[in-house]
């Protein structure tokens, strides 16, 4: 059986991810890589550094990537050598591309651990790939697989995890529980220019949520389960507007409306990241506790068998159309700060 080429003739798969620190001394250099040229205030950076330090300076993201790669390597539908390269921490994508070239890879598919359109979640990864290839003479061609937000494998994994989290709520409040889907907030300027026609980040997340609601909580008791899409992990200077409401504010608003139980469903993250284990499992959990709300958090897609199988299915699809050069542009750093600030080098 020749399952090694698929329709698009790839000879390798590279998992492209964000990267995270793996010890206390990694935290500041990692954060400096993340925010270089981004205008994130120093106070915000120190606050986030403290979140990492509470976990011994170790983000869960790299271990999750290693587990995913192990699972992909064991997936018969993949049948390709699997590489891994990150934007912000070891193994850096450029080093990986060099290794791929040395191994004789000619045409690789890239699975980016982000399912949606926007500068941060799509274009920036395309730029990372282009920069890494430009630094390596004779680098392989690298084709980014399509956005998988609506793929039945991703949806099935998250629906399964949503049902499981509903099952962890006390029986008495389970039926009335509300599903609260979360994703990383982004600046409004970035949200407006996401995708070929703008607005794609939010529209895709909403679609994912709808698909999960339909699968996890089908109308059986007569009505569809109530749900919302809200935002978490806002960064940037306070005067720049980002997508709202924040998940913790939203829990308060729901409580004021008499909602007694919530399942958080982190569809914006493909695996456990610091944003999930701190911003949701520590901060949002504390907010719910204070309000006396029952709260559980659905597991991220991680290595759910349907999610892993999805990667094999994506590899078998014809080569995806490249994103138009104009979609998901890098927002200017001065956007949202009013007129007169238009001389940054970004
Ligand atoms: C849309 C989006 C995703 C989802 C898509 C994807 O998965 O790629 C994502 C993922 C992640 N973001 C991560 C970490 C950080 N993001 C930051 C800052 C920012 N994120 C942004 C957006 C996103 N981020 C933006 C617009 C900024 C402002 C600065 C800038 O314009 O770039 C900062 C700076 C400090 C702060 O939070 O203020 C950190 C440390 C980690 C690793 C977590 C871990 O270690 O477990 C992951 C997976
Ligand atoms: Fe981020």
Mean pLDDT over 250-261 rounds to: 97
Ligand 2 geometric centre to CA of 310 (Å):
24
pLDDT, tens digit (0-9, with 9 covering 90-100), for 76-86: 999 999 999 99
Task: For ligand 1, say whether the CB of 216 is within 6 Å of any of its atoms.
Answer: no
Ligand 1 geometric centre to CA of 172 (Å):
37
Q: What is the pLDDT of residue 5?
A: 47
pLDDT band at 225 (very low <50, low <70, confident <90, very high): confident
Judge whether 177 and 166 are in contact, CB under 8 Å.
Answer: yes
- Which H/E stretch holds residue 192? helix 188-192
Nearest alpha-carbon partner for 153 in 310, 321, 327: 310
Domain 152-297 is in which class? alpha beta
Peptide bond preceding 245: is omega within 30 degrees of 0, i.e. cis? yes
Percentage of the chain modeled with pLDDT above 90: 89
CA–CA dist 316, 313 (Å, integer): 5
Burial, 283: exposed, middle or buried (Cβ in 10 Å; 0-12, 13-18, 19+)? middle
Q: Which of 39, 184, 334 maximizes ligand 1 atoms within 8 Å of its Cβ, making it the mutation to test the pocket?
A: 184
DSSP 151-167: -HHHHHHHHHHHHHHHH
pLDDT, tens digit (0-9, with 9 covering 90-100), for 150-196: 999 999 999 999 999 999 999 999 989 999 999 999 999 999 999 99
pLDDT band at 335 (very low <50, low <70, confident <90, very high): very low
CA–CA dist 62, 49 (Å, integer): 17
pTM, two decimals, is: 0.94
Domain formed by 12-148+304-316, architecture: 3-Layer(aba) Sandwich (3.40)
Q: Is 184 annotated as a binding residue?
A: yes
Task: For ligand 1, say whether the CB of 147 is within 6 Å of any of its atoms.
Answer: no
Task: For ligand 1, say whether the CB of 331 is within 6 Å of any of its atoms.
Answer: no
Q: Is 59 annotated as a binding residue?
A: yes
Other CB atoms within a 10 A radius of the CB of residue 197 amount to 10
Same-fold call for 12-148+304-316 versus 152-297: yes
State the ipTM, two decimals.
0.95
What average pLDDT is seen over the chain? 93
Answer with the residue of higher pLDDT: 53 or 336: 53
Spans of all domains in the chain? 12-148+304-316, 152-297
Task: For ligand 1, say whether the CB of 61 is within 6 Å of any of its atoms.
Answer: yes
pLDDT, tens digit (0-9, with 9 covering 90-100), for 89-141: 999 999 999 999 999 999 999 999 999 999 999 999 999 999 999 999 999 99
Given a cut of 60, is residue 63 above it in pLDDT? yes
CA 274 to each of CA 113, 189, 213, 233: distance values in angstroms, whole numbers, following the listed order: 15, 25, 25, 10
């Amino acid at each position: 059986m020749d399952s090694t080429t698929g329709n698009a003739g790839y000879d390798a798969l590279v998992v492209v991810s964000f990267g995270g620190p793996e010890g206390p001394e990694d935290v500041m250099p990692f954060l400096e890589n993340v925010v270089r040229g981004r205008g994130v205030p120093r106070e915000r950076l120190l606050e986030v550094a403290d979140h990492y330090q509470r976990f011994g300076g170790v983000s869960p993201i790299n271990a999750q990537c290693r587990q995913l790669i192990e699972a992909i390597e064991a997936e018969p539908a993949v049948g390709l050598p699997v590489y891994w390269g990150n934007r912000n921490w070891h193994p850096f994508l450029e080093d990986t591309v060099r290794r791929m070239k040395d191994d004789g890879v000619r045409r690789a598919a890239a699975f980016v651990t982000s399912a949606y359109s926007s500068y941060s979640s799509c274009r920036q990864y395309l730029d990372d790939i282009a920069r890494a290839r430009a630094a390596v003479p004779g680098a392989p061609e690298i084709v980014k697989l399509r956005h998988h937000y609506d793929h039945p494998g991703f949806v099935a994994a998250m629906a399964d995890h949503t049902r499981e989290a509903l099952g962890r709520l006390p029986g008495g409040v389970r039926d009335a529980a509300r599903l609260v889907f979360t994703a990383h907030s982004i600046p409004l300027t970035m949200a407006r220019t996401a995708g070929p026609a703008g607005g794609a980040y939010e529209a895709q997340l909403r679609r994912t949520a709808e698909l999960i609601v339909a699968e996890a909580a089908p109308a059986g008791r007569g009505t569809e389960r109530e749900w919302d899409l809200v935002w978490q992990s806002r960064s940037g200077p306070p005067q720049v507007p980002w997508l709202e409401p924040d998940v913790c504010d939203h829990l308060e608003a729901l409580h004021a409306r008499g909602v007694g139980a919530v399942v958080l469903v982190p569809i914006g993250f493909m695996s456990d990241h610091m944003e999930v284990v701190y911003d949701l499992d520590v901060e949002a959990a504390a907010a719910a506790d204070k309000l006396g709300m029952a709260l559980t958090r659905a597991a991220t897609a991680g290595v759910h068998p349907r999610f892993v199988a999805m990667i094999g299915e994506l590899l078998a699809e014809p080569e995806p159309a490249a994103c138009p050069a104009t979609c998901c542009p890098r927002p200017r750093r001065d956007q949202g700060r009013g007129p007169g600030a238009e001389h940054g080098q970004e």
